Amino acid sequence: MSSKQILGDNPFAPKGEASEPPRDEQAPATDASASPTASPDPGEQGAGEHGAGEHGADAPAGARGRRAQTVPDAASFDDGDDNVFADEEEYWGGEAAVPPGDYGPPIPSVLPNARSVANEVRELERRVRARLTPAFPIENRRLLPLAWLWKRYRSFAMRDRSDVVDEFGRDPVAADRIEPLIDFLYRRYFRVDCQGAGRVPPGGPVILVANHSGTLPYDGAILMHAVRREIGRDVRPLVEDFVFHFPYLGTFINRIGGVRACQENARRLLDDDQVVAVFPEGIKGIGKTYRDRYKLQRFGRGGFIKLALRTGATVVPVSIVGAEEIHPMLGKVTWFSRSLKLPYIPITPTFPLLGPLGAIPLPSKWFIRFGQPMFLDDYGPSDAEDRILVNQLSEGVRSQLQSMIDDTLAQRESVIFG
């Protein structure tokens, strides 16, 4: 096995000693006249025989002549029978070969088909249902102690709840129970004047685009009641996420039909041919101060237009005037509200001065106007990816809605009496 030829002395050799030639260049016999295993360079003629360096006679001269054939950092090994590196047939490198028989036969990989996966999912669902569902109804348990007391407690706990709710949490029993209160606010307290509700299509998916105001989302509940009262269709308003951080308020909104605002929830509702109410201003709408009342904020990135293009829904603008005055916000605190997971804490003439009583809205008169519907039949779902088109349609709806608000404000004479 040949070694690499590198110029230089052996740094590990003692000072004043010559470096030793590699083992493969030494003669196997002690005869000084033996021919070397490697032919010397022309400059090495007369420097001494190859075996002289082994006996130390001409070591300095021989070492200087053989510097070109020694490795600078090669460590010298002592002669002996236990020197396993002396045999030049020894193999020092390469990857370890796995002996045959150390591993078992390969296991074939078989991908599951759709039928087997479906059967496994059905079995898993059956086991989960068996654990969640009792073996038999509680009324049929004969050995249950005080069965009459448990039946009375269950009927009392479920007195205002339904056994079945929809996938978004709407409880029909709770909605029917709260209906008289919303009807009182609609007819007696806010004295809502609703016009143009007949422009909402009687069937198919519809998106109601309304302005947002009032600090608390009273406008969504009133708009739901107005459409149900006028044309008999249920409206599912999309409510901001921060509302669900209030104690009990988020659960109450879900039970009467409100839905947490996101594209996925709105898409599922529209695919079911329902009426969805959106407030494109978002948190900026209900967070306006009183001096900026009825000035529409930016409509985001036109999410409602993308929904209409992808689902074929009809867009109907709705202006609501009167909600800005129920909680006239003079200012807001933001540094303390972050610890409560709220966007802000409003400061109104009644809150926080009156404490919980400051949450009672002022009895302003409301005006609800439904604009001309916008049909997007000339466009397809692929146009939802066109940002320029989406922004143009969104700004068109925003301009129409601002004009409706301005016209209503011009006709209103009083905040309280209308």
Highest mean pLDDT: which range of 73-77, 105-109, 334-338: 334-338
* Structure-block tokens of residue 372: 């001309």
The CA angle 382-398-223, to the nearest 5 degrees, is 100
Tens-place pLDDT, residues 218-236? 899 999 999 999 999 999 9
Q: Give SS3 for 172.
A: helix
On whether the CB atoms of residues 21 and 68 are closer than 8 A, the answer is no
Edge-to-edge, what's the strand order for the sheet holding 193-195? 193-195, 367-370, 314-321, 206-210, 275-278, 235-239, 259-260
**Nearest Cα to 304, choosing from 278, 269, 265?**
278
CA pair distance 49, 385, nearest whole angstrom: 88
Instruction: Give domain limits for the chain.
Output: 23-69, 172-411
Cβ-based neighbour number of residue 304 at 10 Å: 25
On whether the CB atoms of residues 305 and 315 are closer than 8 A, the answer is yes
Cβ-based neighbour number of residue 307 at 10 Å: 22
Tens-place pLDDT, residues 289-348? 899 999 998 888 889 999 999 999 999 999 999 999 999 998 888 887 777 777 888 899
Q: Give SS3 for 275.
A: strand
The CATH-assigned architecture of domain 172-411 is 3-Layer(aba) Sandwich (3.40)
On whether the CB atoms of residues 80 and 87 are closer than 8 A, the answer is no
The reported pTM is 0.63
Could you tell me the end-to-end alpha-carbon distance of the chain, in angstroms, rounded to an integer?
107
Residue type, 48: G
